[in-house]
Amino acid sequence: MKCDLCDKDAVVHLTQVVNGEMKEVHLCEEHAKEQGIDINSPISITDILMGLGEAKQGIEHELSPACPRCGMAREEFRKRGRLGCPDCYKTFMAELAVAIKAMHHSTQHIGKIPGHEGAQTRIKSQIARFRKELDAAIAREDYEKAAQLRDQISAARSQADDAGPAEGGAQ
Amino acid sequence: MTLDGLLERHGGWLESGPDEGPVISSRVRFARNLHDTTFPGWASKEVRDRVWNEVLQAFDQVTGGSGFLRWRMDELQPLERELLFERHLISAEMVERKSGSGLFVSEDECRAVMVNEEDHIRLQSLRPGLNLQQALAEADALDNDIEKTLTYAFSTKLGYLTACPSNVGTGMRASVMLHLPGLCLTDEIKPVINAVSKIGLAVRGMWGEGSEAAGHMFQISNQTTLGKTELEIISHLDQIVLEVIEHEKNARLRLMETQEVRVQDHIGRAYGILAHAAMMNSNEALDLLSGLRLGTDLKLMPEIVRRDIDQLLIRIQPAHLQKAAGAVLSPEERDIKRAQLIRRFLEGKK
């Protein structure tokens, strides 16, 4: 399990039931310390999400201080909780990843796709939907369906390779 | 049609629709933003004006687009903006916005597009009764029409990119407006609100908060917008709303079985006060009209049609009263006009 904030292995795993839904946060040792997490005391995910704003000085130098497109400063974003432009999603992804996961219990869109998006996006979206179905099939121990979905995913993947390199749009 | 023309009508989305008992209306709203463009809350006046003009041009490609009424917020009086808010055509946040912000509304008021609210585009479809599927289909078609000429900000991973991360993904908020007097009178509303909140849906009072909602009106909507398809979100909401309706119907049945006289008394008193009071504030009117609405549902007042009550609920709001009077009114003057309006309505039904 990777840390939600970097690529290191997570050593702190927090689970909390909020509104009847389970939310999880995984952090590496370094980021757990930065968040001021004392493993022996009860902690709320909301506190961690809110705390992300203040406690990240340690890796501040690696993050760009402002969005290169719209100029919104990191501090400004943390204060407002609103983004300045679509590119801010890339600039502030470190903070956003955890918040989005906690809000939506997901990090992958599987809904409508704008008409101007190309074949590559559509295939990727199809794969994401298959994956979601696969997780559900495994959870209810329907291994026949799971095997079927696994085949569909690999077929869609090779289709994606044929469709050529990824087209535009923020990732 | 002008804004005054709009006032003559009673809210197109209330004018027709299936008989759904506790359900008043269904709404689907999409948040959309333009590719490579600063979000309205952080954009300069020039950028916001450019977005308005781009959406204006995009409306040429919208089916029936020329029939949409359109206003820029800065050309409307504060009272007119309030009026649009009371008709559920703009948000409270939009009332405060000016430069570059504006609104498109279909003549039947079932479809509306806010430009430069929190996002560049907030489009909605509003339908009477429980009809999320139709609202979704209409919002979807309008969305497709608008994006014929505009390029939306979209990411393969995060979906439609919005100013607030709580809307990212589908950018969709679906909601159903419900009248739940049975659950309120039997004191069962709190557990129902708690149960619904536990399964990822939000419950709000239409006027006022939580279980203290004035007029026993509630709105149930989806909270998460990412990781599910639009249809999945709507099916889930639909299913839960049907369960809430079932609870409401059971509560009404129990009330009539065990406390019929008390229910008759509650509704009769509501009628009595509404028919004779000379002054009435908003909250009191909402609560009493709720009683009357329950009375029509229980077939206790054959002379009154529920749709008329739903229209009254909008016409007794402050901006509507003032617009009808053609003057700015003090709260006390509004209370007098409100009581008058309701009295005349009931006299006409005798």
Confidence category of residue A168, pLDDT binned at 50, 70, 90: very low
Bigger pLDDT: A170 vs A69: A69
Closest CA to A70 of A92, A89, A85, A80: A85
Whether A112 has its CB under 8 Å from any CB of chain B: the answer is yes
Burial of B99 (0-12, 13-18, 19+ CB in 10 A): middle
Query: What is the average per-residue pLDDT within B221-250?
Result: 95
Confidence category of residue A50, pLDDT binned at 50, 70, 90: very low
Mean pLDDT of chain A: 77
Bigger pLDDT: A85 vs A2: A85
pLDDT at A112: 95
Q: Find all residues with CB under 8 Å of B121, minimum gap 6, and list them.
A: B30, B31, B32, B33, B34, B55, B113, B114, B115, B146
**Contact indicator for B145, B62 with CB cutoff of 8 Å:** yes
Closest CA to A132 of A155, A112, A105: A105
Of B144, B168, B198, the CB nearest to A115: B144
Cα-Cα end-to-end distance for chain A = 22
Bigger pLDDT: B121 vs B305: B121
CA distance A156 to B117: 39
Interface residue of A76, A88, A91, A109 to substitute, partner B, most B CBs within 10 Å? A109
* Strand, coil or helix: B121: strand
**Contact indicator for A21, A101 with CB cutoff of 8 Å:** no
pLDDT of B258 strictly over 60: yes
**What percent of chain B is modeled with pLDDT above 70?**
93
pLDDT at A158: 86
Q: How far is B109 from chain A (nearest CA, A)?
A: 25
pLDDT at A132: 87
pLDDT of A19 strictly over 80: no
Confidence category of residue B74, pLDDT binned at 50, 70, 90: very high
pLDDT of A51 strictly over 70: no
DSSP A10: P
Query: What is the average per-residue pLDDT within A146-162?
Result: 87
Interface residue of A19, A52, A85 to substitute, partner B, most B CBs within 10 Å? A85
Are residues A106 and B228, on separate chains, in Cβ contact within 8 Å? yes
Query: What is the average per-residue pLDDT within B74-85?
Result: 92
Residue B139: alpha-carbon gap to chain centroid: 15
pLDDT at B284: 94
Confidence category of residue A31, pLDDT binned at 50, 70, 90: confident
Which H or E element spans position B24?
Answer: strand B23-32
pLDDT of A47 strictly over 60: no
Which H or E element spans position B26?
Answer: strand B23-32
Give A88-93's long-range contacts (Cβ < 8 A, gap of 24+).
A89/A170, A89/B155, A89/B158, A89/B161, A89/B168, A90/A170, A90/A171, A91/A64, A91/A66, A91/A67, A92/A67
Q: Find all residues with CB under 8 Å of A105, minimum gap 6, and list them.
A: A21, A23, B224, B227
CA distance B62 to B165: 28
Are residues B228 and A89, on separate chains, in Cβ contact within 8 Å? no
pLDDT at A57: 44
Lowest mean per-residue pLDDT among A61-65, B206-210, B234-238, B315-319: B206-210
Bigger pLDDT: A53 vs B205: B205
- Interchain CB contacts (distance < 8 Å): A and B: 138
The token duo for B267 is: 């509704």
pLDDT at A49: 52
Q: What is the DSSP string of B174-234?
A: EEEEEE-HHHHHTT-HHHHHHHHHHTTEEEEESSSSGGG-GGGEEEEEE---SSS-HHHHH
Confidence category of residue B9, pLDDT binned at 50, 70, 90: low
Confidence category of residue B8, pLDDT binned at 50, 70, 90: low
Alpha helices (H) in A38-142, listed in sequence order: 45-51, 74-80, 88-91, 93-104, 119-139
Mean pLDDT of chain B: 91
Interface residue of A83, A88, A93 to substitute, partner B, most B CBs within 10 Å? A83
pLDDT at B277: 97
Whether A31 has its CB under 8 Å from any CB of chain B: the answer is no
pLDDT of B327 strictly over 50: yes
The token duo for B20 is: 């759904």
pLDDT of A15 strictly over 60: yes
Confidence category of residue B304, pLDDT binned at 50, 70, 90: confident
pLDDT of B209 strictly over 80: no
Are residues B199 and A20, on separate chains, in Cβ contact within 8 Å? yes
Q: Residues of A with CB below 8 A from B158's CB?
A: 89, 100, 107, 109, 170
B27-62 confidence digits (pLDDT tens)? 999 999 999 999 999 999 999 999 999 999 999 889
pLDDT of A111 strictly over 90: yes
